Amino acid sequence: SQQGEEDPQALSIQEGENATMNCSYKTSINNLQWYRQNSGRGLVHLILIRSNEREKHSGRLRVTLDTSKKSSSLLITASRAADTASYFCATYLKTSYDKVIFGPGTSLSVIP
């Protein structure tokens, strides 16, 4: 079963608005990562937040992590049409070997 679950599955906003996507996961993690995928392309890494961190920023991106609720959120501020893409969270599980497990993703449409 998948470790991460994004919410909502799809989101449509106007250019200039903020977009918030959420990710919930099931077990303890070492870190949580967010990726972007433009249609038909490979995924691009956006940001990583470790289990001992609560918030990180990168440009217009803000990520929070609440390990007590096993959830994370990705906020994109002042969205642009170019932000239209699918966004995935991925969790890193430190077990006997190292796995990175992805959720099903949120499809974001930014309307000009």
Partner 1 sequence: NAGVTQTPKFQVLKTGQSMTLQCAQDMNHEYMSWYRQDPGMGLRLIHYSVGAGITDQGEVPNGYNVSRSTTEDFPLRLLSAAPSQTSVYFCASSYHPDRADGYTFGSGTRLTVV
Residues that bind partner 1 (CB under 8 A): 1-2, 30-31, 33, 35, 40-45, 48, 50, 88, 90, 92, 97-105
67 Cβ partners below 8 Å, 6+ apart? Answer: 28, 29, 51
Cβ nearer to partner 1, comparing 73 with 104: 104
The Cα 72–Cα 10 span in angstroms is: 17
Minimum distance, C-beta of residue 59 to partner 1, in the bound complex (Å): 15
Minimum distance, C-beta of residue 45 to partner 1, in the bound complex (Å): 3
Minimum distance, C-beta of residue 41 to partner 1, in the bound complex (Å): 7
The Cα 92–Cα 85 span in angstroms is: 23
Provide the token pair at 81: 């049409």
